[in-house]
Structures are given as C-alpha cells and as structure tokens.
Amino acid sequence: MTRLGLASGVAVVTGAASGIGRATALALARRGCALALVDRDADGLRATADTARDLGVAVSEHVLDVAEAGAVAALPDSVMAEHGRVSVLVNAAGVALAGRVEEVSMDEVRWLMEINFFGLVGLTKAFLPHLRAAGEAQIANLSSLFGIIAPAEQAAYAASKFAVRGFSEALRHELEGTGVGVTVVHPGGVATAISTSARVAAGADADEVARKQAAFERQFLRTPPEAVGEAIADAIEKRSPRLLVASGARSGALLQRLMPVRYWRVLRKGADRLGRG
C-alpha cells in the first residue's frame, strides 16, 4: 500500500479526551487531518477539540460511551453529516481492571469487555463501509503489550487486548486487496491514567492494589503519551501493520518470542520486586 495522505483526511478518534487518544488526535491534527473526536468525558473532549482547532483543522465533538451499541451505530451518520467522509479510524478508548481471577466478578469482566473489545468491534463495523468508500483508509486499533504477554492479576485486561489483536489481524487479512489497512498498536509503559485509575475488583484488597499500582507507575510508566501519539500517526501514515511503542514493548515482545511458555518466570521476578517495593 502507498502512504496515506493525512493532510486531506478525516479521522475518527475514540478516547480522545485524554491519554493516548488525545495525543494521537493532536498528532494527526498537526499533519493536517480533520478530526471527529469521541469520548464520554465532555470537558476533556472539548479541551482536546479546542487545541486541535488551534492547529487549523476542522473538528467535531461526539460525546458518547463506546459501550452503548445504539450510540455507536448512530455515530457514522453524525460524522458524515459534519465531515462528508472518513479515512482514518483510531480505536483508543479503553479501561483497566485490577484483581486476580477469583476476585473479579463476571459483571466487572463484562464491563471491561464491552468497552475494550465490543466497543472497538462495533465502531469498526459501523465505519467500515465509509472507510471502504474513501478508497484509501486506515484503521488503528489499540491493543497493548498485554496483548502479547499476560501478567498475573491482569487476566480480564489481557484477554480484551489479546482479543483486539486477534480481531485486528483477522480483519487485516480480510481486507487484503482493498484500500483499507489495519494497524494494531501494542503500547508498553505509557504515562497515562489508565493504570492508576483502573477499577479495583470488588473482591480485591484495595490498599494492596494501590501499593502495587504506585510501584508499577514508578518503575514502568515512563513514555509520555505525546511520543506515542506521534508514533501512531506515523504508523497510520506509513500504513504499518503493527506498532510496538513505549517502554518495555519491544523487550517484552522479544521475551515472549524467545520464551513463549516460560516468560512469566522472568517477569515474575520483577513483579515480586515491585511487590516488595
């Protein structure tokens, strides 16, 4: 595929009120791409939109929860009415859930999957006809390093991100020969609020989880979201099928390739050190 021209494009970006979604939206705006910004946080969304407008691009704001299937199904009509076309879809909305499998309720797992996976699938299906109509288009789906490796106490989150990876790779294969490409993004440690604001399982010890999260943040959340947003925009422009980005992403993926069954033996030592920190 040839490089995607972003200067004349229109990108739909979910999770755009903060973190990687916001950073990616602004990186696309700096390349001249118009934006349809999506998030449930109206105030954060407005702040991102105002910054993007200062960069000279057309911006529309769409306040909705990606877990609401009806709102997702109606979104393309709203975006098309504002912009007339869509050439990029960035599925960046996501949440985290901390706790061991026996501590996490099924309702909590369903809550996470509705946002991290089913919301992403619904948005992709809703916009795919418009992306195909654009001729040349790109979808960027946010998985995670935890879509490659699966640490203890992250079963639900890792399951959702492995699902995003599998869905994205299969979709890429289905779209071969069309003008629509798929980039699956695996961020490592990014300094956003998704970890520190993770929902704590109802059956977990909240103080213990908070201590581990604080240690994890000090050790691993080192890459600023702005750097990740720029890398994602570059990957979209280059139509890269896969992006490993931020601290630990490449080393974690390499470890999994070298030790596909036993990688946790190595990672657990670091986790144990964090637990004592």
Catalytic positions: 157
Cβ pair 204, 103 in contact under 8 A: yes
Query: Which contiguous run of DSSP H or E holds residue 39?
Result: strand 34-39
* C-alpha–C-alpha distance, residues 73 and 125, integer Å: 9
CB atoms within 10 A of CB 234: 14
CA 240 vs CA 40, 141, 231: distances in Å? 29, 12, 11
Cβ pair 57, 32 in contact under 8 A: yes
* Element counts in the chain: helices (H) and strands (E): 10, 9
Residue 78: both structure tokens together: 């709203």
Residue 28: both structure tokens together: 């696309």
Nearest to 29 by CA among 17, 13, 15, 45: 13
